[in-house]
């Protein structure tokens, strides 16, 4: 916080407690109200404000770190059983485990990273897996409508009614509706063949969905963090994500850091190369997997490891 901001806070406190004001307080012993005159303004120094804010920030970060560590400990049984870390943490936070597991067991979401806005909406309990699956079906052709659903500017039912009534093949017309146009008017102007009886009502105003911001992972920062990661963090990583895999030693740590290299798994990787990764990661049933299945499992495990690292980085 800048010195200017600190100065504003000091001024606000002083303005709220001006001098020569009559104050009143109630005695806890006799029960009577007593009055007194405040002859001078409260003297608050900028340094005191800065120190207080720094203390609050420090305590907030410490509490967040403790909470995150506790959640990870509670999530360990699920992660060891094969569940992705983000999914396990969602269950620990109290999100409906049925919805979380429905999403995990489906295949449609695996085209996205775990921090994708649609996936996060399920893991935070904002949408059911079924609603998220429906949104995904029209997300490609109608990204603005999908984002409006994700942000709950419109319901999933409203969106499907609009598309089913004749707007599915008209993305530009859908954008006009999101800008406040009435469906039946837009359809008539554009000479569209629609089912008027099936149309939902218009929104009545223009909506402005939040811009979808893809979280860019910083590979260099993660790699640097791993190079200096504490022994106890490495132990947690091996216990949580690599149980039954390679032992925690210098060579295996170096090998694990290779997941940040470009083309660490080539599209032409042999079954033996993939099996070596599978052995290090402790992937069960790898000998019965096809090359593509094993490649997918290895990449999923690498994603879980990176998620672990990002959580430890805070």
CA–CA separation, 73 vs 67, rounded Å?
A: 10
For 254-304, give the DSSP string.
Answer: HHHGGGGSTTSS-TT--HHHHHHHHHHHT-TTGGGS-HHHHHHHHHHHHHH
Distance of CA 71 to the CA centre of its chain: 15
Neighbours of 264 (CB within 10 A): 14
Tens digit of pLDDT for each residue in 172-226? 999 999 999 999 999 999 999 999 999 999 998 898 755 554 444 567 888 888 8
Domain-by-domain residue ranges, the chain?
Answer: 140-215, 219-313
Average of pLDDT values for 263-288? 85
- Ranking 31-45, 58-72, 211-225, 295-309 by mean pLDDT, the lowest is 31-45
Tens digit of pLDDT for each residue in 219-272? 788 888 888 999 988 988 888 778 777 888 999 999 999 888 877 887 678 889
247, 229, 230, 226: which is closest to 238 by C-alpha? 247
pTM above 0.75, yes or no: no
Measured between alpha carbons, how far is residue 37 from residues 22, 27, 32, 154, 195 in Å? Answer: 4, 16, 17, 56, 75
């Amino acid at each position: 916080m800048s010195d200017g901001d600190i100065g504003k806070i000091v001024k606000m406190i002083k303005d709220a407690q001006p001098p020569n004001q009559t104050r009143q307080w109630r005695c806890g012993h006799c029960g009577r109200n007593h009055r007194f005159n405040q002859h001078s303004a409260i003297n608050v120094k900028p340094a005191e404000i800065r120190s207080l804010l720094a203390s609050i920030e420090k305590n907030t970060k410490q509490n967040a770190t403790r909470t995150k560590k506790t959640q990870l400990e509670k999530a360990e049984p699920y992660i060891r059983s094969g569940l992705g870390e983000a999914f396990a943490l969602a269950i620990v936070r109290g999100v409906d485990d049925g919805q979380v597991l429905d999403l995990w067991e489906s295949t449609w979401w695996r085209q996205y990273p775990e921090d994708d806005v649609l996936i996060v909406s399920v893991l935070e309990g904002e949408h059911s897996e079924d609603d998220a699956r429906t949104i995904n079906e029209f997300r490609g052709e109608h990204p603005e409508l999908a984002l409006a659903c994700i942000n709950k500017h419109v319901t999933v039912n409203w969106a499907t009614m609009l598309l089913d009534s004749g707007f599915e093949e008209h993305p530009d017309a859908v954008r006009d509706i999101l800008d406040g146009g009435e469906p039946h008017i837009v359809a008539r102007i554009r000479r569209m063949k629609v089912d008027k009886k099936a149309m939902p009502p218009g929104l009545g105003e223009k909506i402005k969905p939040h811009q979808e911001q893809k979280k860019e992972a910083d590979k260099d920062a993660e790699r640097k963090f791993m190079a200096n990661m504490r022994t106890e963090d490495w132990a947690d990583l091996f216990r949580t994500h690599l149980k039954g895999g390679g032992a925690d030693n210098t060579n295996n740590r170096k090998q694990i850091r290779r997941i940040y290299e470009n083309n660490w798994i080539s599209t032409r990787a042999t079954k033996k190369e993939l099996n070596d990764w599978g052995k290090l990661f402790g992937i069960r049933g790898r000998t019965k997997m096809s090359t593509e299945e094993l490649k997918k499992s290895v990449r999923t495990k690498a994603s879980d490891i990176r998620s672990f690292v990002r959580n430890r980085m805070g």
